[in-house]
Amino acid sequence: MFDLEGKTCLITGGAGSLGLAAARLLHSHGARLALVDLDLAALDTACAEAFGAAAGEVLCLAADVSDEAQVRRAVARTVERYGALDVLISNAGIFGTVAPIQDYPTEIFDSVMAVHVRGAFLLAKHGVPHMREGGSIVLTSSVAATRGDPGVYAYITAKHALTGLMRVLAKDLAPRGIRVNAIAPGPISNGFQQRVEDGLGAEIGRDGTEFFNEMIPMGRHGSPEEIAASILYLASAQSGFTTGHLLMADGGMSV
């Protein structure tokens, strides 16, 4: 059903739990992979653990997604190895911090926007010219793209901005049959979310994970594998008439 045989998929944020879960699932359906992350050593280790003997089939590349030259080079290396691109998954992200507007560090705001928004823009800018018709771009957004929570200035602003970028790209690339969508996970059981919840728990004086679970109608966090399944749908021809869509995978948190 989800045939990606011979399709080339480039995933940023490849060493994280969601990037790896998506990579494993796409690879199991025949995709050829290029994984990009800031720390090549960490990426190589994660790739070896995730793919075992098949790790050599995966192209691992180091790049800061906010640096145009590095993104251009990562795309060029991928095209050099595989010939063309079919799927781009912009998954790199950082959270920033939580603080009142008067105290929010400008440099943190800038860095979060650079990774999420500039990173997705640069991946599309340099990746799209090498994409075959009928390809797919998936931006990792968040339930934060539908919310406004006190003090979460950088992360929430960045995720809202990704929705706008996704919609512009969808209109621009539709004539080439390239679909552009975003996945909006709710809280996921992973290290990224745990760090957010530890910080929140310290601020509110209670367990941050329990606090989030109470906000989710399904009463639990999602798993990286559950989110990866939605990414697979958007990456494959099964979503052939779906573009410009923000797919909620949040256990009902945005309802």
Tokens of 206: 């209670």
**For residue 248, how many C-alpha atoms fall within 13 Å in the half-sphere facing its CB?**
12
Tokens of 49: 């653990």
Catalytic residue among 82, 153, 155, 233: 155
Hey, which residues does 62 pair with through a beta bridge? 37
CB 215 within 8 A of CB 253: yes
CA angle 227, 228, 231 (to 5 degrees): 95
Counting every residue written for the chain, the total comes to 255
Give the strand pairing for 32-37 and 8-12. Answer: parallel
Q: How far apart are CA 173 and CA 47, in angstroms?
A: 31
Query: Which residue in the block uniquely carries the two structure tokens 């990774």?
Result: 115
Q: How far apart are CA 11 and CA 245, in angstroms?
A: 19
Hey, which residues does 139 pair with through a beta bridge? 90, 182
- Cβ count within 10 A of residue 219: 10
| Catalytic (active site) residue 155 | yes
Which residues form the catalytic set? 155
